[in-house]
């Protein structure tokens, strides 16, 4: 499924806010405590840059929960876009319009990556919305003379003085500016953007480009007073023809290395932000806008970047739209087992999928819950519509069809959906020929007017005559299983997927009930309020206020990743899922699990590993390497109609009895599962009668140790010639035949044959070869 955000294709000259005054604006403490105290504030699972005393306590409390103000128990993150300036006559949405007391974070959209791999919002000047534009006569939009720049950045910092608990982040990229950027004239420059900045043409990591960008991002947020960086890279996936079609020539050529480049980018950003934060006495936030579609996530391996993020914002919208013919909701909370797109693809009828539908918010949440605490996840809500015309079948359009071959120029599609146009597509974009892109994209305030049969006075600003009449009736429909409202015009056969108080309140209840960190909104300018004097809906804060009211007295969010107690002692044993088949070849999902022993002990045969993976995939993971993988506990079984009932499947696998894992050695397991999961977590390893956690989980409260007394140490002897019962075996002879189970000594190690062999030298056959290393002697 192609899942674009066509509404994001608007030119955006944008970005952030500050100077040294940013330290004051954030309301940060003048001093920070010692390293041990800072560690007590680190969120569970968050990577800490080695050797850096990160001032976590400037942002987090002693439980690792973000401090957002007494009446903000959960996040309400709003994207504030730079292009709704009002200069074109359409309704403006400026900093004074933001419901500052209702939000916790603001993401300014968008900055871009310029031709030299640096963050940019374009050339400074009076026409630059971010740093130069002014709005004389607009209430609340007068500039603060304290700052050397004007524009949105000035106003954001001005209001942050009044609302010091609100944090701002600069969001980089977006649908239109992932693989390029808009220059000062509004012309798109196909520079490569994230694709070439992070990944070379041969698929290798472009660390030079990454370092340049990350350094510039740190300088940028310091200059303009931002609290962090939000990366909106759409998309670092190995799936073919994903993301903006204008970028396919860049992305497809680099598919094999996009995930590695993404991970290197996020690690570099995390480390540079941590170092800057330590110097500045404040913790800088790092987040991403992450895809929610199971199709896109299948090509993102196990989404290895979550450990570098303070939190993830799931783009749990654009789940259905006019990029294909299947008519469905933009952002349903749950699956109903009837999704026409999934049915056509055989998802419900393929046994290995377990009947799990993956185009809904709940599925996406559980995907990320597999590797993160609930509190470090925010679900996305759209304040805009998606819609179709000429719909046939379905129930009032829902799960019907609207095929078309008249696809927007530049979309890369030969078959698409018949997107709604005209009065049903107010927030439309233009295709590469400058024509309206059919998408049924509208702000929610316009959709509310359509629902009530009102033609707002603003329509003239969008090119419609003042005497415009509506055709047909836009009847509101609601599916309580999906938690999805829509408008159905039976006369025009128009379907518009909407969001309103009923669905937003239900999603807010879901956030509270599951301990989720909060919500993210694209975009604030689409929210609505009723203007009684004019008798019409206009931009407002109805939906944002509804979430605030739900969250203000909620219990604190879930700060722990594991749902069961794990050992406090951890071993330095690395586990990594890698070598994923590329993109469309990755079914079933079949990576290699590589386990590397960095302790001083040899792990004996029978050593048991356990881990959790998210219920976004059914509980049927297995291995093909003789490790006896089995699912020993499932928090959910069966289909996910109405929601997944729990978070984890618990897996057990054991080092084969004939195999050991010496210090520094690795073993690989061929793994198989059937729907995407994020990085498996909550690992334990058991041997010698003791169970340990693994250091790589980065769990709060764990201490990395070496295996304790009573555990087979397997440590090398002081001298390779010292006596040892392990080396009583005769030395290996290249002319001798050895049967399975035979033991020999060779070059200071003992070796055990897995099967018959002759002439194969121990130490040269590899970890899966005939000779298994039994340790030094």
CA distance to 8, 57, 70, 520, per residue, from 66 (Å): 29, 9, 11, 15
Determine contact, residues 18/239, Cβ cutoff 8 Å: no
Determine contact, residues 486/45, Cβ cutoff 8 Å: no
Percent of the chain past pLDDT 90, that is, above it, reads: 85
Strands 475-479 and 648-654: unpaired
Task: Give pLDDT tens digits for 689-705.
Answer: 999 999 999 999 999 99
Three-class SS string for 512-536?
HHCCCCEEEEECHHHCEEEECCCCE
Cα 692 from chain centroid? Answer: 29
Q: What is the mean pLDDT of residues 234-261?
A: 96
Residue with tokens 């009076």: 126
**589 beta partners:** 673
DSSP symbol at 419: B
At 565, list the tokens: 């107690």
Q: What is the mean pLDDT of residues 341-368?
A: 97
Residues forming CATH 3.20.20.80 domain(s) in the chain: 6-315
Determine contact, residues 244/179, Cβ cutoff 8 Å: yes
Which pLDDT does position 269 carry in this prediction? Answer: 98
Which pLDDT does position 15 carry in this prediction? Answer: 27
Q: Name the band, by pLDDT with cuts 50, 70 and 90, for residue 777.
A: low
Pick from 771, 767, 773, 733: nearest CA to 755: 771
Which pLDDT does position 123 carry in this prediction? Answer: 97
CA distance to 175, 250, 473, per residue, from 499 (Å): 22, 35, 18
DSSP symbol at 761: P
Any idea what the Cα angle at residue 456 is, between residues 452 and 460, rounded to 5°?
145
CATH number of 725-776: 2.10.10.20
From 393-402, 632-641, 726-735, the region with the lowest mean pLDDT: 726-735
Which pLDDT does position 612 carry in this prediction? Answer: 98
Determine contact, residues 570/703, Cβ cutoff 8 Å: yes
pLDDT higher than threshold 80 for residue 371: yes
Q: Name the band, by pLDDT with cuts 50, 70 and 90, for residue 765.
A: confident
Strand order from edge to edge, sheet including 749-753: 743-746, 749-753, 771-776
pLDDT higher than threshold 70 for residue 58: yes
pLDDT higher than threshold 60 for residue 723: no
Which pLDDT does position 728 carry in this prediction? Answer: 67
Cα 299 from chain centroid? Answer: 13
Residues forming CATH 2.60.40.290 domain(s) in the chain: 569-704
Task: Give pLDDT tens digits for 216-226.
Answer: 999 999 999 99
Task: Give pLDDT tens digits for 407-431.
Answer: 999 998 999 999 999 999 999 999 9
pLDDT higher than threshold 80 for residue 11: no
- The span from the CA of 128 to the CA of 694, in Å, is 50
From 151-155, 181-185, 585-589, 769-773, the region with the lowest mean pLDDT: 769-773
Q: Which fold has domain 6-315?
A: TIM Barrel (3.20.20)
Pick from 657, 694, 715, 424: nearest CA to 573: 694
- The span from the CA of 576 to the CA of 597, in Å, is 12
106 phi/psi in degrees, rounded to 5:
-125, 130
Mean pLDDT for the chain? Answer: 91
Task: Give pLDDT tens digits for 192-208.
Answer: 999 999 999 999 999 99
pLDDT higher than threshold 70 for residue 715: no
Q: What is the mean pLDDT of residues 467-487?
A: 98
Dihedral angle, C-alpha 353, 358, 363, 368, nearest 10 ° = 90
Which pLDDT does position 727 carry in this prediction? Answer: 55
Q: What is the mean pLDDT of residues 432-459?
A: 97
Residue with tokens 């570098």: 308
Q: Name the band, by pLDDT with cuts 50, 70 and 90, for residue 752.
A: confident
Residues forming CATH 2.10.10.20 domain(s) in the chain: 725-776
Q: What is the mean pLDDT of residues 298-315?
A: 98
207-224 and 258-280 are packed helices; what angle lies between their axes, rounded to 10 degrees?
A: 40
Which pLDDT does position 36 carry in this prediction? Answer: 62
Task: Give pLDDT tens digits for 94-121.
Answer: 999 999 999 999 999 999 999 999 999 9
Three-class SS string for 332-393?
CCCECCCCHHHHHCCCCCCHHHCCCCCCCHHHHHHHHHCCCCHHHEEEEEECECEEECCCEC
| Terminal-to-terminal C-alpha distance of the chain | 56
Q: Which fold has domain 569-704?
A: Immunoglobulin-like (2.60.40)
501-513 and 542-551 are packed helices; what angle lies between their axes, rounded to 10 degrees?
A: 30
Which pLDDT does position 7 carry in this prediction? Answer: 35
CB-count burial class (<10 Å; 0-12, 13-18, 19+) for 664: exposed
CA distance to 441, 653, 692, 694, 708, per residue, from 568 (Å): 51, 21, 7, 10, 13
Residue with tokens 């079914």: 587
Task: Give pLDDT tens digits for 594-612.
Answer: 999 999 999 999 999 999 9
Contacts of 227 (CB under 8 A, 6+ apart): 26, 105, 167, 168, 169, 221, 282, 284, 285
What number of residues does the chain have? Answer: 777
Any idea what the Cα angle at residue 166 is, between residues 163 and 167, rounded to 5°?
140
**DSSP H or E run through 426:** none
Cα 21 from chain centroid? Answer: 31
Quickly list DSSP for 451-490. Answer: HHT---GGGGGGT--TT----S--EEEEETTTTEEEEEET
Determine contact, residues 583/658, Cβ cutoff 8 Å: no
Which pLDDT does position 2 carry in this prediction? Answer: 32
Determine contact, residues 473/489, Cβ cutoff 8 Å: yes
**CA dihedral (132, 135, 141, 142) positive or negative:** positive
Neighbours of 403 (CB within 10 A): 14
Comparing 659 with 761, the larger pLDDT belongs to 659
Task: Give pLDDT tens digits for 31-46.
Answer: 344 566 899 999 999 9
DSSP symbol at 34: -
**DSSP H or E run through 720:** none
Contacts of 713 (CB under 8 A, 6+ apart): 600, 601, 602, 707
């Amino acid at each position: 499924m192609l899942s674009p955000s066509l509404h994001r294709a608007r030119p955006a000259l944008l970005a952030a806010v500050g100077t040294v005054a940013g330290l004051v604006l954030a309301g940060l403490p003048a001093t920070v405590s010692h390293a041990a105290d800072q560690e007590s504030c680190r969120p569970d699972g968050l990577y800490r840059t080695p050797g850096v005393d990160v001032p976590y306590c400037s942002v987090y409390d002693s439980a690792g929960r973000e401090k957002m103000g007494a009446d903000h128990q959960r996040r309400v993150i709003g994207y504030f876009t730079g292009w709704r300036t009002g200069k074109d006559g359409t309704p403006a949405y400026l900093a004074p319009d933001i419901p500052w007391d209702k939000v916790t974070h603001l993401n300014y959209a968008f900055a871009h990556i310029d031709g030299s791999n640096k963050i940019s919002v374009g050339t400074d000047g009076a026409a630059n919305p971010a740093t130069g534009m002014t709005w004389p006569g607009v209430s609340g939009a007068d500039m603060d003379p304290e700052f050397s720049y004007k524009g949105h950045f000035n106003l954001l910092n001005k209001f942050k003085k009044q609302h010091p608990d609100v944090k701002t982040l600069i969001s980089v990229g977006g649908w239109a500016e992932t693989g390029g950027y808009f220059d000062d004239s509004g012309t798109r420059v196909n520079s490569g953007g994230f694709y070439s900045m992070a990944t070379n043409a041969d698929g290798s990591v472009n660390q030079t480009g990454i370092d340049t960008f990350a350094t510039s991002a740190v300088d940028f947020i310091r200059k303009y007073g931002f609290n962090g960086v939000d990366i909106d890279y759409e998309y670092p996936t190995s799936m073919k023809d994903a993301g903006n079609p204008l970028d396919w020539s860049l992305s497809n050529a680099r598919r094999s290395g996009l995930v590695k480049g993404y991970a290197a980018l996020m690690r570099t950003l995390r480390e540079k932000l941590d170092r800057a934060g330590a110097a500045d006495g404040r913790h800088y936030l790092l987040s991403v806008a992450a895809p929610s579609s199971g199709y896109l996530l299948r090509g993102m391996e196990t989404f290895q970047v979550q450990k570098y993020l303070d939190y993830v914002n799931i783009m749990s919208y654009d789940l259905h739209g006019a990029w294909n013919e299947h008519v469905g909701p933009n952002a349903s909370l749950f699956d109903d087992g009837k999704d026409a797109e999934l049915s056509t693809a055989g998802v419900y009828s393929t046994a290995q999928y377990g009947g799990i539908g993956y185009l809904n918010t709940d599925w996406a949440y559980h995907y990320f819950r597999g590797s993160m605490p609930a509190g470090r996840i925010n679900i996305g809500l759209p304040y805009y519509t998606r819609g179709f015309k000429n719909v046939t079948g379905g129930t009032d359009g829902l799960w019907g069809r609207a095929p078309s071959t008249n696809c927007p120029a530049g979309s890369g599609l030969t078959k698409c959906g018949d997107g709604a146009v005209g009065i049903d597509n107010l927030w439309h974009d233009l295709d590469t020929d400058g024509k309206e892109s059919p998408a049924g994209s509208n702000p929610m305030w316009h959709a509310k007017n359509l629902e009530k049969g009102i033609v707002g006075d603003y329509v003239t600003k969008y090119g419609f005559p003042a005497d415009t009449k509506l055709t047909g009736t836009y009847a509101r429909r609601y599916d309580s299983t999906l938690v999805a409202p829509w408008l159905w015009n039976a006369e025009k056969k128009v379907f518009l997927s909407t969001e309103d108080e009923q669905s937003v309140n239900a999603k807010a209840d879901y956030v509270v009930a599951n301990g989720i960190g909060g919500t993210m909104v694209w975009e604030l300018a689409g929210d609505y309020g009723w203007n009684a004097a004019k008798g019409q809906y206009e931009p407002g804060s109805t939906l944002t206020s509804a979430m605030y009211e739900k969250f203000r007295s909620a219990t604190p969010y879930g700060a722990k990743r594991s749902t069961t107690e794990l050992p406090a002692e951890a071993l330095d044993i690395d586990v990594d899922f890698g070598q994923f088949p590329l993109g469309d070849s990755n079914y079933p999902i079949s990576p290699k699990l590589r386990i590397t022993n960095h302790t001083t002990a040899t792990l004996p045969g029978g050593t048991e590993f356990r881990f959790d993976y998210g219920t976004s995939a059914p509980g049927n993971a297995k291995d093909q390497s003789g490790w006896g993988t089995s699912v020993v506990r499932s928090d959910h079984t069966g289909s996910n109609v109405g929601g997944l009932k729990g978070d984890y499947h618990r897996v057990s696998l054991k080092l084969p009895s004939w195999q050991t894992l010496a210090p520094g050695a690795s073993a690989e397991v061929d793994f198989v599962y059937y729907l995407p999961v994020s990085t498996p977590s909550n690992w334990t390893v058991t041997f010698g009668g003791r169970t340990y956690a693994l250091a790589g989980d980065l769990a709060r409260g764990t201490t990395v140790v070496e295996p304790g007394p009573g555990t087979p140490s397997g440590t090398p002897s002081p001298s390779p010639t010292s006596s040892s019962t392990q080396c009583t075996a005769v030395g290996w002879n290249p002319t001798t035949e050895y049967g399975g189970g035979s033991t020999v000594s060779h070059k200071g190690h003992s070796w055990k044959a897995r099967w018959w062999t002759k002439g194969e030298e121990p130490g040269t056959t590899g970890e899966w070869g005939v000779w298994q290393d039994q340790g030094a002697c």
